[in-house]
Amino acid sequence: MNPGEMIKDILAKRDSIQNVFFVACGGSLVEFYPPKYFMDAESKHCGAFLYSGKEFVCAAPASLGENSLVLLCSHSGKTPEVLEAAGLAKERGAVVITYAGVAGTPVNQAGDYHIVYGDRTEEGSHYGDSPVLLSLRLMAELLAVTEDYPYLDKVMDGISKIDTVIYNAMDQVSERAKIWGKACERENMMYILGSGPAFGNVYGFAICSMMEMQWQHAAYIHSAEYFHGPFEVTDKNTAYVVLESNGPARCMDERAIRFLKRYGAKYEVVDAKELGADIIDEKVVDYFTPLMFYKVMCVYREELAKLRNHPLSTRRYMGKVAY
Amino acid sequence: MNPGEMIKDILAKRDSIQNVFFVACGGSLVEFYPPKYFMDAESKHCGAFLYSGKEFVCAAPASLGENSLVLLCSHSGKTPEVLEAAGLAKERGAVVITYAGVAGTPVNQAGDYHIVYGDRTEEGSHYGDSPVLLSLRLMAELLAVTEDYPYLDKVMDGISKIDTVIYNAMDQVSERAKIWGKACERENMMYILGSGPAFGNVYGFAICSMMEMQWQHAAYIHSAEYFHGPFEVTDKNTAYVVLESNGPARCMDERAIRFLKRYGAKYEVVDAKELGADIIDEKVVDYFTPLMFYKVMCVYREELAKLRNHPLSTRRYMGKVAY
């Protein structure tokens, strides 16, 4: 069942979908940031909410019910918090769609619909089959039916182009990433800035790529919030990475960059506009740039890992000790 | 007009309130975290959303309209992003309530209703007149009318008790805060952990108390997300502060504390249960502990500031240079 068929099937069983909950942990939670952002920006009637798995269970939303759609994602297919969240969602009668990176896991059995991601979509896109874009398409299909969302075709067109965008962007940063890696090799602390659709990437790069994979102290800061506290730590010795969006959020990132140019010295700007995301239609491009940022930042982290001789797969606790 | 009268007045003008947007920047945004958390946990039909001022304007939500209630807060009453947000909200026909710390500011003029906070409520509570509790009361009054929320009386009772809770809690931590200050005086980096209703405090302590007021590198981490990346930086030399909630979120914080006991060494646990928040009814206490945490953490930061001879009011950029 493709995302369009899935939405039709759901709407045949429910008279309406009142709200959507995106629930996952860590890196998988990051996958859900853009579709949540899409819903906030595009949906007039369907509220969207993003929860870390255990928080969803502990602070169970009162509005979770039979007219809720719950999307759950676990790369391993075994994350206990995601399975708990599925239990709560089913108990409340919600429609549950689960994503897992592999087949035959408990998460695959935990919902009404399940998706194993990582293959190739009907549109021939490899990255179109990532949780972030599968979810974006699901949401666009939903709103196309329920609210006459007019740009589903542009979303589909974006999916057909995303591989090209990503490969070009990754190529473009390969030299800069090496320079950045050398400059940051011995940094003790790194601030990651961004806003709008890219804020999920900001979070993900800090907590997964830096803290988890490099044991690197890091903080994620929203570009607009930067001016309401965090900018006071800025000086010529503090390292920043700014993900500069190319849609309406860009002005927030530009403001932070202007400040860093004046009062900082060690900052790397990763600019969506420069990286060529704009071959995707401007009405929807904002929802695609996060995946481009993710893959581009994978090039950056790889360079740092090589220089430090600290492979990205190195762990001391995750999956190694009890917790 | 008190919050109850305000809600009655609003509901006389609008047939329903479909959603609530809490919009502010930095420290004022933190004030809105608990009422947003309250709405998520208690409201069946009214979606609640939290936005940094400029993000609200750039990523204007499609669901913002005549049946929206927008709460805006600016301590100075002059924050440009909040004024812009008020403009957007009015343009869309939403009901706008503004909060400012002083009278006669542009923010006081920007909405349909305005509140100058910092006095003493009818219940005789000083802290009951803070934006966080005024907003909590507004939301409880709203849901009491629209969804038969049964615990408005317990919220009012909590407001009458919050001063006692706060003063007792502040007294209790005064010695521990001194010890913590000494231990952390030379820390380069500090991780702040917490979850549930306290996550706003986690954010605020990191970006305002530490980064802004102490030029201290810091990161805010959700206790549940800690295990999906951030815990890999944990070692005996890395400093943590954990805000331990006393409601359903507590299990997430406890798990992080168990891990820190084993693999960390420098961590401070600030426990809501130990601090005596439980004189407030358990059905609503979760919505009051954030303000207690805030005031308790003010004691902590004050000790650090004294030892470092870096007054909390010291700024190098905020209000001093153009940005």
Nearest CA in chain A to B190: A217
Q: How confident is the model at residue B315 (pLDDT cuts 50, 70, 90)?
A: very high
Q: Å from A96 to nearest chain B CA?
A: 19
Residues B261-277 have a mean pLDDT of 97
Q: In whole numbers, what is the pLDDT of chain B averaged over residues?
A: 97
- Give the contacts of A58 (CB within 8 A, at least 6 positions apart): B195, B196, B248, B249, B251, B252
Q: Report whether pLDDT(B243) > 90.
A: yes
Closest CB to B61 among A41, A227, A323: A41
Rounded CA gap, B191 and B199, in Å? 13
> What is the pLDDT, as a whole number, of residue A119?
85
Q: Å from B9 to nearest chain A CA?
A: 24
Rounded CA gap, A242 and A258, in Å? 11
Q: How confident is the model at residue B159 (pLDDT cuts 50, 70, 90)?
A: very high
Closest CB to B215 among A213, A232, A248: A232
Q: Report whether pLDDT(B253) > 90.
A: yes
Give the residue extent of every domain in chain A.
3-146, 161-308
**Per-residue pLDDT tens digits for B57-113:** 999 999 999 999 999 999 999 999 999 999 999 999 999 999 999 999 999 999 999
**Per-residue pLDDT tens digits for B135-146:** 999 999 999 999
> What is the pLDDT, as a whole number, of residue B138?
98
> What is the pLDDT, as a whole number, of residue A41?
98
Token pair listed for A211? 């803290």
Full pLDDT tens readout for chain A, 323 residues: 899 999 999 999 999 999 999 999 999 999 999 999 999 999 999 999 999 999 999 999 999 999 999 999 999 999 999 999 999 999 999 999 999 999 999 999 999 999 999 888 888 899 999 999 999 999 999 999 999 999 999 999 999 999 999 999 999 999 999 999 999 999 999 999 999 999 999 999 999 999 999 999 999 999 999 999 999 999 999 999 999 999 999 999 999 999 999 999 999 999 999 999 999 999 999 999 999 999 999 999 999 999 999 999 999 999 999 99
> What is the pLDDT, as a whole number, of residue B122?
85
Rounded CA gap, B301 and B218, in Å? 13
In this structure, what DSSP letter does residue B129 have? G
Contact B150, B136 (CB under 8 A): no
Q: Do domains B3-146 and B162-308 have the same CATH topology?
A: yes
* CATH code at B162-308: 3.40.50.10490
CATH 3.40.50.10490 applies to domain A3-146: yes
* CATH code at A161-308: 3.40.50.10490
Q: Report whether pLDDT(B123) > 90.
A: no
Q: Å from B87 to nearest chain A CA?
A: 17
Nearest CA in chain A to B37: A59
CA distances from B204 to B24, B118, B201, B272, B309 (A): 13, 19, 5, 17, 22
Q: Kindly list the residues from chain A whose CB atom is less than 8 angstroms away from the CB atom of residue B19.
A: 47
Residues B273-292 have a mean pLDDT of 96
| In the block, residue with structure tokens 């008020």 | B86
Closest CB to A225 among B25, B188, B251: B25
Q: Kindly list the residues from chain B whose CB atom is less than 8 angstroms away from the CB atom of residue A310.
A: none
Closest CB to B63 among A45, A59, A234: A45
Q: Report whether pLDDT(B208) > 90.
A: yes
ipTM at complex level: 0.98
Q: Residue B95: which H helix or E strand, with range?
A: strand B95-100
> What is the pLDDT, as a whole number, of residue A122?
85
- Give the best residue of A139, A232, A245 to mutate against chain B (max B CB count within 10 A): A232
Rounded CA gap, A65 and A50, in Å? 16
> What is the pLDDT, as a whole number, of residue A123?
85
> What is the pLDDT, as a whole number, of residue B234?
98
